[in-house]
Amino acid sequence: MAGTTLAGASEAGVSVPVDERVIDVRDLRMRYGTKDVLHEVSFAARRGEVLVLLGPNGAGKTTTIEILEGFRMRSSGEVNVLGVDPATAGEAWRAQVGVVLQSWRDHGKWQVRELLGHLGMYYRRYSTDAKTRPWPVDDLLEVVGLTAAATTRVARLSGGQRRRLDVAIGIVGRPDLLFLDEPTVGFDPAARREFHDLVHRLTDVDDTTILLTTHDLDEAEKLADRILILSGGRIIADGSADELSRRVAGESEVRWSRDGQRFVHAAANPVPFVRELLVQHGDAVEDLEVRRNSLEDTYMRLVHDSEGSP
C-alpha cells in the first residue's frame, strides 16, 4: 500500500520503489523573479498509476507539470521522468511522453483524421517490439469518440469535440507517460464518463502512467490511484482518496428515518452508534446511510489547515 503523507510531506512518494519510479521529483523549487512558487516539492509515481494533482488556483500545479514535461526550467531540485532529466531530454524521450495542452487551436483547416494521421507519422520511428506506434487513426478516433467527426475540419468542432481532439493528439504516439492538464473542461457528462473509461483503458491495457490536474473532486476520486494536494507551492497530502479521508480526523455522518422523521448524527465511530440505534429502534429504522468524509470535505479541510500554517 502506498504510504500516506500529510502536512510537511518532504518525503512524499518515497514508498514507491526506486526502480518502479516513472516520475521521481526531489526537493523541487521554482522561483519566478523574487516569488517562490514551489517549495521543496517531492513525489514519485509508479508505472501504470494515475496520479491526480489537486490544489487551489495558483498552487503551482501547472508549473510542476510544465517542469516535468520539459517545457519550463526549474530553479533547483532533482527531476527524473522515465529515467531522464526533462530539462536535457531529447526527441526519443519526448516521443514516449504525451501532453494534453489546454486546447489545440492551430490547423483549423485540417480534417480531424488527416491531422491525427499526420501527427502520428512522427512517432513511427519510435515503435518498439513491445509497442507499435502510432495508434492506428481509426482506432484512436473511436476510442476518443470522434469517429463521426473524422472528416470535420478542426475549426468546425464543438468545444467538447475539440477537447477530445486534444486528448487524441496527446495519446496518438501511445505514450508511456501522459500529462493531462484539466482534461475534461467543457465535456458533457457522457463525454466525461467516456473519458474516464479511456483513462482506465490506457492504464489497464497500455500500462500508461498518467499525471492529471483537475478541479473536479468527483473526477479525482473516480480516477486517482493516488492524490497529491498542492497548496501554496507545497505538497500537503499524498495518498489514495480513502487514505486521505481516514487521516483527516473527521466524523462520519449517520442518516436515518423513523416514523416518517429524518435524523442526522455525526459520529467519530459510526459502528457502535448504528448498533445501538438498531438495538433501540430495530425495524422502525429506515433509509439508514453512513457517509464518510467525502474527498471534498477532506480537501477543504487540508487546504484550509495548510493555509493557516507558514
Residues that bind ligand ATP (CB under 6 A): 32, 37, 55, 57-63
The nearest distance, CB 158 to ligand ATP, in angstroms, is 23
- Nearer Cβ to ligand ATP, position 168 or 228? 228
The nearest distance, CB 34 to ligand ATP, in angstroms, is 10
Radius of gyration of the chain (CA): 22
CB 42 within 8 Å of CB 56: no
The nearest distance, CB 137 to ligand ATP, in angstroms, is 32
CB 223 within 8 Å of CB 212: yes
- Nearer Cβ to ligand ATP, position 215 or 255? 215
The residue written with cell numbers 433501540 in the block is 280
- In Å, the largest CA–CA distance within the chain is 71
d(CA 266, CA 251): 6
The nearest distance, CB 58 to ligand ATP, in angstroms, is 4
- Nearer Cβ to ligand ATP, position 60 or 183? 60
The nearest distance, CB 121 to ligand ATP, in angstroms, is 32
**Helix 189-206 and helix 159-171, axial crossing angle in degrees, nearest 10:** 10
Reference 208, options 17, 16, 6, 48; nearest CA is 48
Residue 227 C-beta-side C-alpha neighbours within 13 Å = 29
- Nearer Cβ to ligand ATP, position 100 or 144? 100
- Nearer Cβ to ligand ATP, position 31 or 265? 31
Residue 240 phi/psi, 5-degree rounding, is -70, 165
The nearest distance, CB 60 to ligand ATP, in angstroms, is 4
The C-alpha cell that represents 163 in the structure block: 477537447
- Nearer Cβ to ligand ATP, position 171 or 228? 228
